[in-house]
Amino acid sequence: MRITLFAVGRLKAGPEKDLAGRYLERFSKTGPASGLELKRVIEVPESRASGADTRKREEAAELERALPEGALLVLLDERGKALDSEAFAAQVGQWRDQGKRDLVIAIGGADGLDPALHARADLVLNLGRLTWPHQIVRILIAEQLYRAVTILSGHPYHRA
């Protein structure tokens, strides 16, 4: 299964970008043996519209254009479902085993994600009830993708 990470906002050079890149590189190296590959990371600029609803709609349109046909969509949102790492890995593994070809994980902008995306999403996931800066969310989901591969392959990285 090919996994795309979609993010509203760009990571500037620095320790956050380096750490996210380190986990994505680990995922890229270990994922194919488990049937998971990093297809790409898509970064789009935040909308400059004056209202939050318009910004969210414009950012959602960018995401819709990037979605491969038939792709699964996971949204990261503080109001989403809380999963532990093993349950997240199991969900990704289940989709892979069902023959799903593409999975897109979306990180929204400062205003969040458009309600139309929530209606279309296969899973709305939270990374805790706290609000996280975009840079940290990128690191957290990159690490969880790597952790999911290690769980699915029985690698000792994950210790429950």
Residue 159 has pLDDT above 80, yes or no: no
Question: From the annotation, which residues make up the binding site?
Answer: 76, 108, 127-132
Q: What is the pLDDT of residues 72-105, one digit of tens each?
A: 999 999 889 999 999 999 999 999 999 999 999 9
* Confidence tier at 130 by pLDDT (50, 70, 90): confident
Looking at domain 2-153, its CATH superfamily turns out to be SPOUT methyltransferase, trefoil knot domain (3.40.1280.10)
Sign of the CA dihedral 13, 16, 22, 25? Answer: negative
Mean pLDDT across the stretch 119-131?
93
Instruction: State the pLDDT confidence band at 150, using cuts at 50, 70 and 90.
Output: very high
pLDDT of 118 above 80: yes
Instruction: Give me the mean pLDDT over the 10-35 stretch.
Output: 96
**Cβ contacts of residue 62 below 8 Å, gap of 6+?**
8, 44
Stated as kind and residue range, the H or E segment containing 64 is helix 52-66
Phi, psi for residue 78 in degrees, rounded to 5: -60, -20
Percentage of the residues of the chain whose pLDDT score is greater than 90: 90
CA distance linking residue 86 with residue 63, whole number of Å: 27
Residues of each annotated binding site for S-adenosyl-L-methionine: 76, 108, 127-132
What does the pLDDT read at residue 156?
Answer: 83
pLDDT class for 157, splitting at 50, 70, 90? Answer: confident
